[in-house]
Amino acid sequence: MDLTQANIDTLRARAAPKGLNFINNAMILAEDGAEIPVISPIDGTQLSTLAASSAADMDRACAVARAAFESGVWSGMAPTDRKRVLLRWADLIEQHALEIAVLGARDNGTDIRMAFKGEPMSAAATIRFYAEAVDKRNGEITPTKKDVLSLIHKEPVGVVGAIIPWNFPLMIGAWKMAPALAAGNSVVLKPSEDAALSTMRVVELAAEAGLPAGVLNAVNGRGAVVGEALGLNMEVDVLAFTGSGNVGRRLLEYSARSNMKRVYLELGGKSPNLVFADAPNLEQAAKETAASIFRNNGQVCVAASRLAVERSIYDEFMQMVVDASRSFAVGDPLDLSHTTGALANAAQLSKVKTAVATAADEGAAPLCGGQQLLESSGGYYHEPTVLGDVRTGMDVVQNEVFGPVLAARAFDTEDEAIEIANETVYGLSSVLWSRDISRAHRLSARIKSGTVQVNCFSGADVTSPLGGVKQSGNGSDRSLHAMEKYENIKATWIQL
């Protein structure tokens, strides 16, 4: 179906499915039948329910995944056959893309254009990328003396647990599921309670594509229950997580308390955006600065939420950013006339409002926005907000808001710009604008972040790794390097 308002409205009118568990290629209730209400951020009404699973439900899924792995039904399948299944899965996701996107937007509030392009379409592209890599990665022979054959093999680790967030559940879910499955592993997925419905549809399509029973499983429920059970389960060999630092720390503890499973964490950021007076196009830089923080309401791990502008252009540039921020039309995410939808849940709206109020109390200058919108709708909407004259110690500078709030200030020298860039505990992404290629290289080397974007805010693509330093995590999603997280290296030494 094409992305038209008529098609969107038709799909919106359908009753939302329940978020059941998917275990052994079957949609099933939680063992005790318990459910969690799903509240739509569009209007605050109940959209559906999720299975409120117990630790026993998660343990069952992990046991099924282990049995599937040990059987060799997927791990022992010829690489070309695994590739065909994954490619078929990507095709099915694309065929159902609008249906999936509308369901996702109803669940987490993402505007429909982004919910379409950035979720099912992105997930399908990611699955294809790793599918095509399945039969193109070779082992190695090391240089030894003539009477020895030394081999290096890449082997699947076994069972991979993946805990995914609510902002881009399909895109980020695919970053974890696709390389893990391509490497031959079984996967147990724990979706977010705030964005599970579209995820379950995508998982269901994997079975339709021919993925054998037990290879991909998904268990819904509260993180404190089933997330903990996944982290502690002795059958899980690797755990991949995107979310908050507090939960990331708990997962590391669970690993230590169980089987020392490898834990890979992407824990968000407070990404800096440095704009120098010699930026090649200030107007374009201002537009991309606004987009970098206000797309999807700032609910983006790499959102450039801290802006530092060379003092000689600060006033001019900030006016450009304010003007660009006013171009965002906030409202019903399923209305194509809107560019920005709702925040994902009531707690997130409250967090944004508190951050703005605290910044004002601490002396930040309000340049635009700052107010809740469409309160009578019952939904969770907030204006794009620009704050000026922030300082290092402010809460809005140091802590991730994960909302449409930009914190800006001026700088005078390169050294000061670098101090600003590196002043938080995070190190996920960064942006700098300058036509001086020497400066770009010089500063890129000094900024402590996993990604540096120069003269753009593109988000890159699946060919480029995304990983953090400092308290933004470890390991990388995306790129062929991501497959290394889900593989063991085996050395075989043969005396001839």
Per residue in 222-262, pLDDT (tens digit) is 999 999 999 999 999 999 999 999 999 999 999 999 999 99
181 burial (CB, 10 Å; 0-12 / 13-18 / 19+) is buried
Residue 48 and residue 196: Cα distance in Å, rounded? 11
Helices (H) and strands (E) in the chain, counts: 16, 23
How many whole angstroms from its chain centre is CA 83? 24
What pLDDT score does 459 carry?
66
Burial 423-441 (b: 16+ CB within 10 A, else e): bbebbbbbbbbbeeeebbe
Domain that residue 432 falls in: 272-461
Exposed/middle/buried for 495, CB within 10 Å: 0-12, 13-18, 19+?
A: exposed
pLDDT tens digits, one per residue of 115-151:
999 999 999 999 999 999 999 999 999 999 999 999 9
Give the residue among 206, 212, 253, 230 at the shortest CA–CA distance from 57.
230
Using DSSP bridges, classify how beta strands 381-382 and 385-388 pair: parallel, antiparallel or unpaired: unpaired
Please give the radius of gyration of the chain, using alpha carbons only, rounded to the nearest integer: 23
Beta strands 159-163 and 186-190 are parallel
Domain count for the chain, please give it. 2
- Judge whether 335 lies within some domain: yes
Catalytic residue positions, numbered: 266, 301
CATH of the domain at 282: 3.40.309.10
Q: How many CB atoms lie within 10 A of CB 358?
A: 15
Considering the domain architecture, whether residues 260 and 357 belong to the same structural domain is answered as: no
Q: Is residue 85 part of a domain?
A: yes
Verify that 317 and 366 share a domain, yes or no.
Answer: yes
- What is the sign, positive or negative, of the torsion defined by CA atoms of 215, 221, 222, 228? negative
**Residues 256/411, Cβ–Cβ less than 8 Å:** no
Residue 271 is predicted with a pLDDT of 98
Q: What CATH number is attached to the domain comprising 478? A: 3.40.605.10
- The answer to whether position 299 is within a domain reads yes
pLDDT digits 0-9 by tens, 384-398: 999 999 999 999 999
Q: Which of 301, 474, 487, 315 is nearest to 389 (CA)?
A: 315
Q: Hey, what are 33's tokens?
A: 């039948």
| Distance in angstroms (rounded) separating the CA atoms of residues 340 and 343 | 9
129 and 170 assigned to the same domain? yes
DSSP, res 118: I
- H or E segment and range at residue 314: helix 314-325
- 163 and 241 part of one domain: yes
Residues 229 and 280 occupy one common structural domain: no
Map tokens 């992990």 to a residue: 62
Residue 30 φ then ψ, to 5°: -60, 155
Report how far apart, in Å, the C-alpha atoms of 480 and of each of 8, 148, 465 are.
Answer: 35, 30, 8
CA distance 16 to 293: 30
In a domain, 173, yes or no: yes
Q: Which residues of the chain have pLDDT under 70?
A: 459
Strands 46-51 and 35-39: antiparallel
Element (H, E) at 5: helix 5-12
Q: Which of 428, 488, 65 is closest to 265 using CA atoms?
A: 428
With respect to residue 370, please indicate whether it lies within any of the assigned structural domains.
yes
106 neighbors 38 (Cβ within 8 angstroms): no
* Residues 289/457, Cβ–Cβ less than 8 Å: yes
Whether residues 250 and 280 fall in one domain = no
For 469, counting Cβ atoms within 10 Å of its Cβ (0-12 exposed, 13-18 middle, 19+ buried), the class is middle
Shared-domain flag, residues 276 and 404: yes
Question: Would 468 be classed as within a structural domain?
Answer: no
For residues 203, 207, 211, 213, the Cα torsion angle rounded to the nearest 10 degrees is 100
- Domain for residue 467, yes or no? no
**Token pair in block for residue 429:** 């992404």
- Contact status, residue 427 vs residue 448, Cβ threshold 8 Å: yes
Please answer whether residues 264 and 241 qualify as being in contact, where contact means their C-beta atoms are separated by less than 8 angstroms: yes
**Of the candidates 114, 55, 39, the residue with the CA atom closest to the CA atom of residue 333:** 114
Query: Shortest CA distance to 447 belongs to which of 465, 464, 432, 434?
Result: 432
Same domain, 148 and 242: yes
Q: Tell me, yes or no, whether 242 and 286 share the same domain.
A: no
Tell me: do 91 and 135 sit in the same domain.
yes
Q: Enumerate the H helices of 139-267 as residue ranges.
A: 169-182, 197-208, 228-232, 245-257
- Does residue 259 share a domain with residue 283? no
Mark whether 120 and 17 lie in a shared domain.
yes
Model pLDDT for residues 85-107, shown as the tens digit of each residue: 999 999 999 999 999 999 999 99
**Collapsing DSSP states into helix, strand and coil, what is residue 24?**
coil
Distance CA 426, CA 398 (A): 9
Query: What is the bridge-based pairing of β-strands 238-242 and 429-433?
Result: unpaired
At residue 458, the pLDDT reads 80
Q: What is the DSSP string of 73-98?
A: TTTTS-HHHHHHHHHHHHHHHHHTHH
- Is residue 466 included in any domain, yes or no? no
Nearest to 35 by CA among 214, 196, 165, 167: 196
